[in-house]
Amino acid sequence: MSYIIYAIPFFFLLIALELLAEHFRKTDYYRTNDAINSLTAGVLSRMFGILKALAPFTIYVMLYDNYALFTSGDSIWLGLIAFVLYDFCYYWNHRFGHEMSILWAAHVVHHSSEEYNLTTALRQTSGSFLSWIFYLPLAFLGVDPLLLLTVGSLNLIYQFWVHTRHIGRLGWLEWIFVTPSNHRAHHAQNQIYIDRNYGGVFIIWDRLFGSFQDELDQEPPIYGIRKALHSWNPIYANTHVYQQLIKDSWRTKAWSDKFKVWFGKTGWRPADMERDYPLGRVDLTRFKKFDIVISTRRKVYALIQHGLTTFVGLVFLLNITHLALMQQLLIIAWVIFASVSVGEVLAMKVAVWWLEVAKYLALVSVLVTQPIPFWLMLSISSFTVVSVAMWPSLKKEYTNIVEQKEDMAIVG
């Protein structure tokens, strides 16, 4: 079984504790817009993950039932062996996820934050379609499908705590396990850290296969990706590399390059694409985090909207077995729409006002037409009332933005 859904309350508890540490240590590791963007990506990842899992899991079960070389019983030792084997497969999945363009397109969202904190751990992909292939060897080795789900979820849960800057080096543990220190190096875009430290639980794979790099005091990690995201839109965060690969594959002249764009080394582009459509890269000597200064009122509103989106997402995850397919798709569509709208709030987009109105009209129509429990209706209604109450002041803020842009246009 998967334990991830049960770990979510502990994730948020640890995030709260890290925020307390942030307050008392007077550090600057959190920004509201970045944290919301990371958490929203996590909600979408969980929802899409359930829908995507059926076909790969069915293939795994078929291989296990028909081609397993060994049969396993119930034993703590077998569980531990499966846990280690899973992490070995994870290492190669993660390594190829950085070194092959089509796999990087899926994984990039996890690295696109320019911060490094516990919300970054939840910044997971919704667009991974091939990573399951790396775990198929476990079916031939006789790892039971349910055991696979268990060790896979435990592997992911372990990785949560290493996404922090509040824990330094951990002595001899650095030689065996993935730790906050060696994983900070993994998330850095400094040249010395790129394509290093792929392990999920055990760092020994990196030491064995030559991909280990220690975190250096003289080279503080700079987080993010070389082609900076510059957006709070979670859908764009999940698709921007795919979009670039599609453009390059379509535009490039050589047929071999149309294929190589997808399956070549990450960052490689055909010569004609580099010449005709150059991409801007981050200059680390002048690195500046992407940020948009917004009012406290808008931050509070964005947090409320994120809370509503997360609440609906969690209700969906806990009740998915009781929902018809059409209901599942409608809820996912609403969460996607709401997530994009929150990102536009953070980006100070003027058109977001109409997105928010449409979002709540859709939500109210669901409350009116669908038989839902009273507690759920009360909870969603509370979010709605508080949000709508904030609209007049936000509308005034949007009006001021429009007037400022019009004044600038006249002056120009």
Helix axes 374-411, 296-319, angle to 10 degrees: 140
Question: Residue 396 is inside which H or E element, if any?
Answer: helix 374-411
Containing H/E element for 77?
helix 76-99
Domain ranges of the chain: 4-208, 296-411
Q: What is the DSSP string of 170-219?
A: -GGGGGTB--HHHHHHHHB-SGGGTT----SSBTHHHHHTT------TTS
Tokens representing 253 are 């002249």
What residue type is 354 in one-letter code? W
CB 363 within 8 A of CB 327: no
Coil, strand or helix at 282: coil
Copy the structure tokens of residue 375: 């507690």
Tens-digit pLDDT profile for the chain (412 aa)?
Answer: 678 989 999 999 999 999 999 999 999 999 999 999 999 999 999 999 888 888 999 999 999 999 999 876 677 889 999 999 999 999 999 999 999 999 999 999 999 999 999 999 999 999 899 999 999 999 999 999 999 999 999 999 999 999 999 999 999 999 999 999 999 999 999 999 999 999 999 999 999 999 999 999 999 999 999 999 999 999 999 999 999 999 999 999 999 999 999 999 999 999 999 999 999 888 898 899 999 888 888 899 999 999 999 999 999 888 888 888 888 888 899 999 999 999 999 987 767 878 888 999 998 887 787 778 888 888 888 988 999 898 887 777 777 665 565 444 444 4
Contact call for residues 95 and 194 (beta carbons, < 8 A): no
Question: Could you give the dihedral angle defined by the CA atoms of residues 121, 125, 128 and 131, in that order, rounded to the nearest 10 degrees?
Answer: 0
Specify the 3-state DSSP secondary structure of 270: coil
